[in-house]
Amino acid sequence: MHLYIIRHGETYGNLNGDGFTETDLTDNGLRQAFLLGERFKDERIDAIYTSTLIRAVRTGGEIYKYHKNANFNIFTTLMEKGTDKDYTGLPDDVLQNIVPDAVIRDRTPLGEEDQLKALERAKKVINTILSENDDNSNVVIVAHGMFNTYLILAATGLGLIPDFNFSQNNTGVTLIRYLYENGVKKTKLTYVNDCTHLISNF
């Protein structure tokens, strides 16, 4: 399996220093998301998972434009760590206006959350994705700068590293591969925070 963990495009919240509220993509963020979609247009993508926050849905939707046969799943459990504990995202019809075929899987608020609980949430997401997709699948997660660190730690089995973050620029792509070598299943962190699609003539 190829598991791509991606941060959403630039938002108005990123510009004003508030990345935890509901905030949409800027014009630059829309351009980043468009270029991200272009990056993946010739790949095979079997499933896309995003949070219920509009910035993630809109970014994932740019990939989905080229992969209409992929399953598009929306989860509150992929929301950014630090999101209001009672917030579950915009209404279904707003999100499905962006991706009409999206399936909104849950509306469970995050509640109070420390680092350990965030990691446990990330493990739950990763286990769900691994159970729903086979070894040959190419899967995309579009989530958030802080929570993506927990997803990477969960997906690689590294466990909690207190006060540590993987750098996650807007639309930065991290690839984790699950593969067999000599009959042994291995996990490989192939690259982190790749933004080459934002370079001209990528």
| Strand-pair partners of 173 | 6, 194
Measured between alpha carbons, how far is 95 from 183 in angstroms, rounded to an integer?
A: 42
39-92: per-residue pLDDT in tens? 999 999 999 999 999 999 999 999 999 999 999 999 999 999 999 999 999 999
- Helix H segments across 25-86? 27-40, 54-64
Q: Region 145-160: what's the mean pLDDT?
A: 96
Cβ neighbours for 69, distance < 8 A, ≥ 6 positions apart? none
On the question of pLDDT at 200 being above 60, the answer is: yes
Cβ neighbours for 161, distance < 8 A, ≥ 6 positions apart? 153
Measured between alpha carbons, how far is 62 from 171 in angstroms, rounded to an integer?
A: 11
Overall pTM > 0.85: yes
Q: What angle do the packed helices 145-156 and 115-132 form, to 10 degrees?
A: 60
201 band by pLDDT with thresholds 50, 70 and 90? low
Among 73, 43, 69, CA closest to 60: 73
Which class for 202: exposed (0-12), middle (13-18), buried (19 or more C-beta within 10 A)? exposed
Measured between alpha carbons, how far is 148 from 97 in angstroms, rounded to an integer?
A: 25
3-class DSSP assignment, residue 66: coil
Q: Region 162-190: what's the mean pLDDT?
A: 94
83-133: per-residue pLDDT in tens? 999 999 999 999 999 999 999 999 999 999 999 999 999 999 999 999 999
